[in-house]
Amino acid sequence: MYTIQADHLTKSFGPVTAVNDVSLAVREGEIFGFLGPNGAGKTTTTRILTGVIPLDAGSAAVLGHDISTEAVQAKQGFGVVPEISNAYTDLTAWQNLMLMGELYGLARAQASRRASDLLTMLGLLERREEKVQAYSKGMKQRLILAMALLPEPELLFLDEPTSGLDVQSSQMILDMLRDMNRDGTTIFLTTHNMEEANRLCHRVAIIRNGRLIAVDAPEKLKMAIESVHRIEVSFSREIAGDALAALQGVTGVKRIGDKWQLTAEKQDTVIQSLAAFGRENHTAIVTLNTLAPSLDDAFLRLTQEVSP
């Protein structure tokens, strides 16, 4: 059973095709990461799936409802945390939440109870009667999350939910998402924070220039690029990058602080070359670490491989 099933989504703005023939399926109970560089089409895809903008071609079913023809029924089952904070700043947090309750058709008592619980969980209860304009960015974002969670949605769309937040607010939001997912909520997370996606998502999709270029579990994506190895090395004295780049098996050299990061197709060849290099140049190797590929590497590799 898929919570989201999108087939051949296409959306253009004038001559620019923002989303180009994108198909994806999100399983029930999954945390699905949607990654891509700025301007790749992440937000447009999310807006199509949330029924905010219409699609030009293709189809999307969300919670079993066609988002083009049964948008209200689909929206009744999901909550949205958009990229920019959009609570009414001239209303209090409580008034914003009660408005959400009414827009989702909740009974007043149910909305009040749920709002109190959420504000308590998110550390905003004591400031619920303050206008949102007095809130910090982190508090606003927590309120937006509370607004999205008020109707107890089966599915939650989040667009860069922790962007620009302090560590405490970010951690609070991520912990809450994990708890909700454990309780059965499906999560569609748009982000360009690889670490966040790596720690949170069961599967990720990578989009570039409006086209989907990969959909898989984070670990599988990392495995897919394992043909490239990274080795971090530091020496007891200053070494020129050119000398390292000339070593057998080295395909790339990058300065990282006081260390050099080498990329290679054969890890063993490079390690042996480094040992020989140290002996020949009378310099000791202070540290040498082999690094496993990260989701960052997979993302960079995949997004660079595909030409626009």
Partner 1 sequence: MNPAGLPEQARRAWAIAKKDIRLYYAKKSVLIFGVLMPVFLFLAFFVGSNQLPLSFLLPGLVGVTLLFTATALSPAILAWEGRHGNLERLVSCPVSIEAIVMGDMVASILFGIGITILTVFIGLAFGLSLLHGMTMIVSILLGSCCFSAIGMLLAVPPTNEPSTPMTLSLLIKFPLIFISGVFVPLDQLPSWGLAFSACSPLTYFTDLVRYSFTGKNYFPVIVDVAILAVLTLVFSAGSMYLHKRTMPKRI
Q: Which is nearer to partner 1, 151 or 293 (CB)?
A: 151
How near is the Cβ of 193 to partner 1 at its closest, in Å? Answer: 21
Q: Which is nearer to partner 1, 35 or 87 (CB)?
A: 87
Q: Which is nearer to partner 1, 36 or 79 (CB)?
A: 79
C-alpha of 102 from chain center = 30
Question: Biggest alpha carbon distance in the chain?
Answer: 79
3-state percent helix, strand, coil for the chain, nearest multiple of 5: 40, 30, 30
Q: Which is nearer to partner 1, 55 or 194 (CB)?
A: 55
**Category of 31 on φ-ψ map: left (φ > 0), alpha (ψ -120 to 50) or beta:** beta
> For residue 293, which phi and psi values (nearest 5 degrees)?
-65, 140
Q: Which is nearer to partner 1, 80 or 271 (CB)?
A: 80
Question: Please, which contacts does 217-223 make with residues 24 or more away whose CB atoms are closer than 8 Å?
Answer: 218/33, 218/295, 218/298, 221/295, 221/298, 221/299, 221/302, 222/292, 222/293, 222/294, 222/295, 222/297, 222/298
3-state secondary structure of 237: coil
Angstrom distance (rounded) from CA 245 to CA 263 = 10
Angstrom distance (rounded) from CA 22 to CA 144 = 28
Q: Which is nearer to partner 1, 95 or 269 (CB)?
A: 95
How near is the Cβ of 176 to partner 1 at its closest, in Å? Answer: 20
How near is the Cβ of 5 to partner 1 at its closest, in Å? Answer: 19
How near is the Cβ of 188 to partner 1 at its closest, in Å? Answer: 13
As a dihedral over the C-alpha atoms of residue 203, residue 16, residue 304, residue 34, rounded to 10 degrees, the angle is -10
Angstrom distance (rounded) from CA 277 to CA 262 = 14
How near is the Cβ of 270 to partner 1 at its closest, in Å? Answer: 50
Angstrom distance (rounded) from CA 7 to CA 216 = 17
Q: Which is nearer to partner 1, 54 or 252 (CB)?
A: 54
How near is the Cβ of 20 to partner 1 at its closest, in Å? Answer: 19
How near is the Cβ of 50 to partner 1 at its closest, in Å? Answer: 5
- List interacting residues with partner 1 (CB under 8 A): 47, 50-54, 70-73, 75-76, 80, 82, 84-91, 95, 99-100, 102-105, 147
